[in-house]
Chains A and B, each alone.
Chain A
Amino acid sequence: MRMLTLKNIKFSAQENGEKVILENISFEFRTGMNYVITGANGCGKSTLAKIIMGIFPNAGGQILFNGQDISNLSITERARLGIGFAFQQPVRFKGITARMLLEQASGKKLTTAVACDYLSTVGLCARDYLDRELNSTLSGGELKRIELACVLARDCPLNIFDEPEAGIDIWSFNSLVDIFSKLKSKNRTNIIISHQEKLFRSADEILLIKGGKIALSGAPSEIMPKLQNFGNCDRLRGENGQN
């Protein structure tokens, strides 16, 4: 079943001093599948994710979610329809605690046990974190896990993860792969922006963005050997001098 359809998505903007261009991106994401979108830094992966969420406007084209045209809907409206989003760099809040954010995400009051479950799933010792403010006293990795926990608390049909592995240690990384598998088993669709080969292997389909277009797409067994021709993951990352 089609979950999300992108038709001729266009975008052009300066971002961090680099020109990001997307040209006529079209793709169909099906229900209950794990997709990994990869490509060099600055190729527009995060931009595409943000266009789907409504954070960036699409300069042209159409986005259909469960058959409904959401191209002109706000972020809030898309979120309420059932799209979840985990940011690459989670934002900090003075005075807002992990518990408050989890409750906003789930849309209801949470018992301590349930809230702890979400945090434990992402590898945090829950009771220590529940009432912590999401301020500068938390490390990037801790914030990142709380960000992932919020997406789990939302329990959306479509989840977008922008580089979920960034700042996550090896132990948690294995848990991360499990999280995506569990979401898939609940018939959720995941779109994961990533450079990690391990996540490539766990995907149902990989999309490579290059030159503003989807250069390759298909099953990992088909796509991963071809990625060598486009540069392996490390080289993909390094194309813009970043690692």
Chain B
Amino acid sequence: MDKIDSKLLSTLGLHEIPQGAYNIRKNGQLLGRNSSANIVIESKTDNPGINIRIASNTRGESVHIPVIVTDAGITDLVYNDFFIGENCDVLIVAGCGIHNTGATASGHDGIHTFYVGKNSRVRYVERHVGEGNMSVEKVLNPVTVVHLGENSTMILETTQLGGVTSSIRKTEADLDKNAVLDIRESILTDFEDCATTEFHVSLNGAGARANVVSRSVAKGNSFQRFDSNVEGNCDCTGHVECDAIVMDRAQVVSMPALKNTDSNASLTHEAAIGKIAGEQIVKLETLGLTQEEAEALIIKGFLS
């Protein structure tokens, strides 16, 4: 592992080789893997990618599966399936860092499927980072599919803070009885970046709850599209919130959609697109910040 690898891994939340289970992938190849007593990682035999099997009653353990791409011209596609047993409480950290200083585009498409067992709680953190040659495409198209069993909870935190020139992020989830899905997305785009996110959440079991919150900042000439579809098929609650700060000539399209097939479903959404409020900048200037420092702090807080 060289300095660029370490720096990329650190931006993905890894400051050293993690304890417990991990799988580190670099330029389409395995860089390191470790299974633990309760968490087994194995290569798929049919497709590129891995199966992660977490035994029932595994609590307080974590899995790290970062991907780094440092060569130009790499297009990596993996299928990672997570089989999480019952009564678990685990942290899963994934993400992709692309450092492309070459002349041709590089990218990574990760297709992650989660089968979350009854009464389990999963916190899934996914970070996406792009750096290197500004004019070369760094493409990330993650797909996340979540099947939440009875009384299970998933907190899904996705962060993509600049450098990714093009991304289409798709998330699909279905929730059984009393399952909870809490999605928090943070996106920052700049220059000519283009980012699309699509959420499809089906609330199928009575008492299921979903909260989809997206906060984004679009700078430069960048473009973002936010499509969220929440479907209530029972006595359930769903809420969608998308809040975007636009700067320069950036554009955001926000399309929160709700649908019920059962009259007991309670679904709400709120969406806002706008510049940083002038009064927020003035307030921070009275604390001694310059306009640029004030904008940076507002954006940092907004996306945190």
* A76 and B243 contact, CB distance less than 8 A: no
A105 touching B215 in the complex, CB below 8 Å, given contacts A93-B298, A96-B297: no
Of residues 87 through 139 on chain A, the ones whose CB sits less than 8 Å from some CB of chain B are: 87, 90-91, 93-97, 100-101, 104-105, 107, 133
Q: For the complex, give the distance between the alpha carbons of A79 and B290 in Å.
A: 10
Q: For the complex, give the distance between the alpha carbons of A91 and B286 in Å.
A: 12
Q: For the complex, give the distance between the alpha carbons of A154 and B285 in Å.
A: 13
* B288 and A94 contact, CB distance less than 8 A: no
Flag A55-78 by CB within 8 Å of B: 1 or 0 each.
Answer: 100000000000000000011100
Min CB distance A56 to B, Å, is: 10
Of residues 34 through 67 on chain B, the ones whose CB sits less than 8 Å from some CB of chain A are: none
**CB of B287 within 8 A of chain A?**
yes
Chain B CB within 10 Å — which of A55, A84, A90, A104 has the most? A104
A150 touching B287 in the complex, CB below 8 Å, given contacts A94-B215, A104-B297: yes
**CB of A53 within 8 A of chain B?**
yes
B290: nearest residue on chain A (CB-CB)?
A76
A100 touching B287 in the complex, CB below 8 Å, given contacts A75-B282, A94-B243, A95-B215: no
* A75 and B297 contact, CB distance less than 8 A: no
Flag A30-57 by CB within 8 Å of B: 1 or 0 each.
Answer: 0000000000000000000000010100
A154 touching B279 in the complex, CB below 8 Å, given contacts A95-B304, A100-B301: no
* B288 and A91 contact, CB distance less than 8 A: no
A105 touching B287 in the complex, CB below 8 Å, given contacts A91-B279, A95-B303: yes
Q: For the complex, give the distance between the alpha carbons of A100 and B284 in Å.
A: 11
Number of interface residues of B (CB under 8 A): 22
Chain A CB within 10 Å — which of B215, B282, B303 has the most? B282
Q: For the complex, give the distance between the alpha carbons of A186 and B282 in Å.
A: 27
Q: For the complex, give the distance between the alpha carbons of A238 and B25 in Å.
A: 71
Q: For the complex, give the distance between the alpha carbons of A79 and B303 in Å.
A: 27
Flag B211-225 by CB within 8 Å of A: 1 or 0 each.
Answer: 000010000000000
**CB of A226 within 8 A of chain B?**
no
A104 touching B289 in the complex, CB below 8 Å, given contacts A87-B283, A91-B283: yes
Which one of B277, B282, B286, B302 lies within 8 Å of A95 (CB-CB)?
Answer: B302
Within 8 Å CB of A80, what residues of B?
288
Within 8 Å CB of B284, what residues of A?
104
Q: For the complex, give the distance between the alpha carbons of A76 and B282 in Å.
A: 9
* A95 and B301 contact, CB distance less than 8 A: yes
* B288 and A79 contact, CB distance less than 8 A: yes
A75 touching B286 in the complex, CB below 8 Å, given contacts A94-B243, A96-B301: yes
* B289 and A93 contact, CB distance less than 8 A: no
Min CB distance A157 to B, Å, is: 14
Min CB distance A171 to B, Å, is: 27
* A74 and B285 contact, CB distance less than 8 A: yes
* B288 and A107 contact, CB distance less than 8 A: yes
**CB of B268 within 8 A of chain A?**
no
**CB of B104 within 8 A of chain A?**
no
**CB of B29 within 8 A of chain A?**
no
**CB of A200 within 8 A of chain B?**
no
What are 10 A-B interface contacts by the 8 Å CB criterion?
A: A55-B282, A76-B288, A76-B291, A79-B286, A79-B288, A94-B301, A96-B301, A97-B301, A104-B288, A104-B289
A residues at B contact (CB < 8 Å):
53, 55, 74-76, 79-80, 84-85, 87, 90-91, 93-97, 100-101, 104-105, 107, 133, 150, 154
